Chain A
C-alpha cells in the first residue's frame, strides 16, 4: 500500500477465517422478552449505578431504574415494562457475582418505549450532550464498556482533529455492527454530529473493513449534504478494530505506550454506540436493548437480534436452539471473547455476540499438544504491537513477571490473541500474558500500598 503514498492498514496482524456469511446477510430481528430480566448495576468500567427502584415497584420500558454514581458511571433503564421482583446478586462474565435488578415483564404489554427530553445536536451545548449521553446509559458497545461520555470530555490541553467511528468489526463471526451500518446508517449519521459537537472534532471518518461493502455504500448514501464525514474502506485484517490499530491504519499515527487516542488528536467511538446515540438522544430515551450476533456452529437459528439488556444467555440460546454437541459458549468474538461460566449471565450493554461452538471448533483441530517454542517467529510477525511473544512466553513459564514488564513491554500487550492463534507449538501465550499482567498490577498495587503506610 506504500505505493499510494500512505498506509491504509497497520503492520502485522492475522487473517483468521471470517465465518461471517451465516449472519451477515440477515436482517436484524426483534427478540422476545424473557420471563425474568436481570439488569446488572455494573455493566461498565467505573462505579456501579445506584438503584432507584424498590421491590414490587412497577416500571415502564425505558424508565431510569438506576442512576450514575459519579462521572465514570452511567444510568440504567428498564428494558421492559414490568414489576421489579427483587434486587439481588447475579452472575457476571467476570466470574464474580454483581448486584442486579430483577424485572418480570407485564404479560401482554405493548412495551412502548418511554422517552424524555429530546436533545438537539445542533443547538445543545457540548456539556448538555455529554450529560445526556451519560443519562442515556451509553457505554462502548464494542465490548469495552467504558462510559462513552467520559471519553468525550476533552481536557483543556488536548484537542481532537479527527473523530473515528469504528465499524471495522474485525472479529470472526460477529456481524452485529455490520447489520447496524446497513440497516441503521441514518442513525449512525445522526449520532456523529452529537459526538463532533461534544468534542469539537472538525471531521469524522467512519472506518469499515472491505468485507462489508454494503455497509460502506449504505453509510456513504446516508451522509448528510455538506457534512464533514467520510467513509473509509480498510483491507480486512485482525485486530483492525482495536483503537490503536485503527488509528494507525487510518491516520498513520501511533498512540504512545500507555496513552490514549487523544494524545494523537483522535477519538474513537464504536459504530453501534454512535447509532445508539443517534437513535436515543433525539427522543431523550435510554438504552434498553442492543443488536447482538447469536451464532457459531452450535446455534440453530443464527442471526442478529435486537435483545433486551438483562435477558439471560440461557433464554437466548433456548430460543434460538442449540445443537446437542455444544461445548463452549462465549460472549464476543472468538479471538477476544470470554467463555461464560454460567448461562444465567444476562446480556449487558457490552455483549456484541453470543457464539456457541461444538467439539469440532474447540481446540485446534485434532492436535492440541503443547510443544516447546521452536522459534519459528510466527508470533513475532503477528503481534501488532511488535512485542516478542516467544521470549515473553519463555519468561512467563518461569514466572519472571517483573522482567517481562520491565524489559519486554508486557504491559503494552492488549491481549488480542494473535500470537496464540498462530503458534504451531500451541503455547497459550496470551493466556500466560493475562496472568502475568494481573500479577504485575497486583505487585504494583501492593508496592503503592506499602509506600503509603511507610
Chain B
C-alpha cells in the first residue's frame, strides 16, 4: 500500500473552505462594471474610452511601482486596483484632460490606498479620494461638460488632449447636468432620460439601469452586501419624498433624486466597497441611512449640486465607529435570558 507510505500533510482544521477569494470577488466587481463602462463609451465615444483606460493604467502602474519600491510583491493581481481605476474614470466628466485623469489615478492609489497600507487598510474609497482631490484642484475641469462631437467615435473634444497645466479649451459647453439644472435653474429632466442615460453627466453616472444590473449581479453572488445600496436608496427616496410632498415646487421628486447624478454608481459600487463599510449587517444599514440623509442634505441645502462623493467619504470615516456601536453582545456574556433573546 504505497500511497500510505508517503508523508501526509498535517494542517489544523478546518480542512475545507468556502472557495471564496478576494481576487474572485474583485474580478466579479470588475465584470459588473463592464456594462456601465461600455455604455459610457457608447454615449460619450472615444474620450470616455481614453478616460477609463488612462485611469486604470495610472492606478495599476502606481500600485505596481509603489509595491516594487517598497520591496513587496506586487498586488495588482488581486484586481482591486482595477476597480479603483474604473470607478475613478467613471466619476469624471467626459472630455476631461487625460493628464488630470492620470494625476487622479496616482493620487487615488498613492494617497487613498497605499499610504494607509494597501488593500484592506484604506479607510476611504481610493477612487473617491482621487476624485475629491481632483475636484479641489481643478474645479472648472471637473464641472465642465463639453458637448460631444457628432462623430464621437472618431474624434475627441480638444480638452481631452490638453497639455498638462494648460487651461483646457472647450469647443462648446453643454447644458448643465440634470442636478445642476434643477438646483440652479429649477428645471427637471424626464425620468426616462435619466434611466437610460441620455443626459449630461460623468461618464459612468448616467445609466441607472445598467448600474443596478451590476449591483444585482454582485448581490446575487453574495459578493456585495445589498443592505448598503438598498438602505441608501430607500433613505434618499423617503427623505426627498417627504420634502417633495411638503413643497413640490422647491423640492425635486424622489425619482429624480434617485436617478440623477452619481447616486446610483455611488450607492451600488462605492459605498458598498467592503473595505470602507461596516462589517455587521446592522452597521451596514445605519451606514446606508447616514449616507442617504447626507446626500439629500448636501444636494438640497449645500452649496453644491452633488453630494454623493462627500456623503460616502463621511460614511467611510464613520464606518469603524458604527461597527463599535453595533457590536453584537457576545453569546452568553450578559445575563442569560430564558425564552430566547
> From DSSP, what is the main secondary structure of chain B's interface residues?
loop
Most-contacted residue by chain A among B15, B25, B275 (CB, 10 A) = B15
CA distance A324 to B16 in the complex (A): 20
What size tier do the contact residues of chain B reach? 35 or more
**Which residues of A in the span 310-362 have a Cβ within 8 Å of any Cβ on B?**
314, 317-318, 322-330, 332, 334-341, 343, 355, 357, 361-362
Contacting residue for B14 out of A263, A372, A420, CB 8 A: A420
Instruction: Answer yes or no: B71 CB below 8 A from chain A CBs.
Output: no
B22–A339 touching, CB < 8 Å: no
- The verdict on B70 contacting chain A, using a C-beta distance below 8 Å, is no
Q: Are B16 and A172 in contact (CB under 8 A)?
A: yes
> Which residue of the partner chain, among A256, A322, A365, A390, contacts B332 with CB atoms under 8 Å?
A256
Chain B min CB distance to A164 (Å): 16
| B121 neighbours in A (Cβ, 8 Å) | 372
Complex Cα distance, B336 from A257, in Å, reads 9
Bound form: Cα–Cα A339–B9 in Å: 8
**Set of chain A residues within 8 Å of B120, measured between Cβ atoms:** 371-375, 425
* B15 near A374: Cβ-Cβ < 8 Å: no
CB-contacts of B312-341 with A (<8 A): 327-333, 336-341
B173 within 8 A of A: no
| Set A364, A375, A426: member contacting B275, Cβ < 8 A | A375
Comparing A21-29, A72-80, A186-194, A377-385, the segment that makes contact with chain B is A377-385
A323 to B340, CA, bound (A): 48
A386 contacts B by Cβ under 8 Å: yes
Residues of the B chain whose Cβ atoms lie less than 8 Å from the Cβ of A376? 25, 274, 279
Q: A374-B120, A424-B21 are in contact. Are A330 and B336 (CB under 8 A)?
A: no
Given the known interface contacts A372-B121, A421-B16, the answer about A263 and B336 at a Cβ–Cβ threshold of 8 Å is: yes
Contacts of A378 in B (CB 8 A): 20
Interface members, chain B 23-71 (any A CB < 8 Å): 23-25
Does the CB pair B9–A328 fall under 8 Å?
yes
A337 to B12, CA, bound (A): 8
- Specify which chain B residues have a CB less than 8 angstroms from the CB of A90 in the assembled complex: none
Q: Which of A6, A314, A337, A357 contacts B340 (CB 8 A)?
A: A6
Give the residue name and chain of the B residue nearest to A258 (CB).
Answer: B332
Check if A422 sits within 8 Å of B18, measured CB to CB: yes
* Residue pair A434, B12 in contact (C-beta under 8 Å): yes
Q: Are A253 and B327 in contact (CB under 8 A)?
A: no
Residue contact B15 to A337, C-beta cutoff 8 Å: yes
Contact status B331-A386, CB under 8 Å: yes
- Complex Cα gap A16–B87 (Å): 34
CB proximity of B31 to chain A, nearest CB, Å: 16
User: Could you say which residues of chain B place their CB within 8 Å of the CB of A374?
Assistant: 22, 119-120, 274-275
A412 on the interface (CB 8 Å rule)?
yes
Q: Indicate if the CB atoms of B13 and A334 lie closer than 8 Å.
A: yes
Q: A318: which of B1, B22, B328 is its contact (CB, 8 Å)?
A: B1
Q: Is B188 an interface residue (CB 8 A)?
A: no
Is the Cβ of A323 less than 8 Å from the Cβ of B330?
A: no
When A334-B14, A339-B11, A367-B23 are in contact, do A326 and B279 touch as well, CB less than 8 Å? no
Q: Does residue A387 face the partner (Cβ distance < 8 Å to B)? A: yes
* Residues of A with C-beta under 8 A to B327: 388
Residue of A nearest to B332 (CB): A257
With a cutoff of 8 Å between Cβ atoms, the chain A residues found around residue B20 in the complex are: 364, 378, 422-424
Determine the chain A residues whose CB is within 8 A of the CB of B284 once the complex forms. Answer: 377
Quick one: closest A residue to B335, CB to CB? A256
Q: Which residues of A contact B338 (CB under 8 A)?
A: 252-253, 264
* Minimum distance in angstroms from A353 CB to a CB of chain B: 11
Asked if B274 and A377 make an inter-chain contact with CB atoms under 8 angstroms apart, the answer reads yes
B residues in contact with A257, CB < 8 Å: 330-333
User: Is A431 within 8 A of B12, CB to CB?
Assistant: yes
The complex places the Cα of A327 from the Cα of B327 at a distance, in Å, of 40
**A449 and B208 alpha carbons, distance in the complex (Å):** 67
Cα A409 to Cα B11 in complex, Å, equals 25
Contact A254 B332 (CB under 8 A): yes
A contact residues around B23 at 8 Å (CB)? 367, 369, 371
Contacts of A264 in B (CB 8 A): 336, 338
Interchain CB contact (< 8 A) of A339 among B15, B281, B337: B15
B279 x A244 contact (CB < 8 A):
no
Q: Known contacts A253-B338, A384-B331: does B279 contact A426 (CB below 8 Å)? A: no
Per DSSP, chain A at the interface is loop
- Tell me the complex Cα distance, A336–B21, Å: 21
Q: How far is the CA of A372 from the CA of B116 in the complex (A)?
A: 13
Q: Which chain B residues in 112-157 approach chain A with CB under 8 Å?
A: 117-121
Residues in A neighbouring B11, C-beta threshold 8 A: 328, 339, 362
- Complex: A193 Cα to B164 Cα, angstroms: 87
Query: In this assembly, does B4 line the interface, its C-beta being within 8 Å of a C-beta of chain A?
Result: yes
Find the residue from B11, B14, B21, B275 having the highest chain A CB count within 10 A.
B14
Contacts of A325 in B (CB 8 A): 3
B119 x A371 contact (CB < 8 A):
yes
The answer for the CA separation of A9 and B8 in the assembled complex, in Å, is 37
Shortest CB distance A328–B (Å): 5
A420 to chain B, nearest CB (A): 5
Q: B3, B25, B278, B332: which contacts A323 (Cβ < 8 A)?
A: B3
By a CB distance below 8 angstroms, the chain A residues around B331 are 244, 248, 254, 257, 384-386, 412
Cα distance, A263 to B338, chains bound together (Å): 11
Choose among A7, A254, A339 the residue that contacts B8 (Cβ–Cβ < 8 A). A339
A430 close to B (CB within 8 Å): yes
A1-56 interface (Cβ within 8 A of B): 6-7, 14, 16-17
Closest chain A CB from B105 CB (angstroms):
21
Partner of B9, one of A327, A334, A372, A434: A327
16 A-B pairs, CB-CB below 8 angstroms? Answer: A16-B16, A248-B331, A252-B340, A253-B340, A254-B341, A257-B330, A317-B4, A339-B8, A339-B15, A365-B19, A371-B78, A377-B280, A417-B13, A424-B24, A428-B12, A430-B14
Q: Interface on B for A, CB 8 Å cutoff?
A: 1-4, 6, 8-25, 78, 117-121, 225, 274-281, 284, 327-333, 336-341
Additional A-B contact list (8), CB under 8 Å, known A172-B16, A424-B21: A7-B340, A324-B2, A327-B9, A374-B274, A385-B330, A412-B332, A424-B24, A431-B12
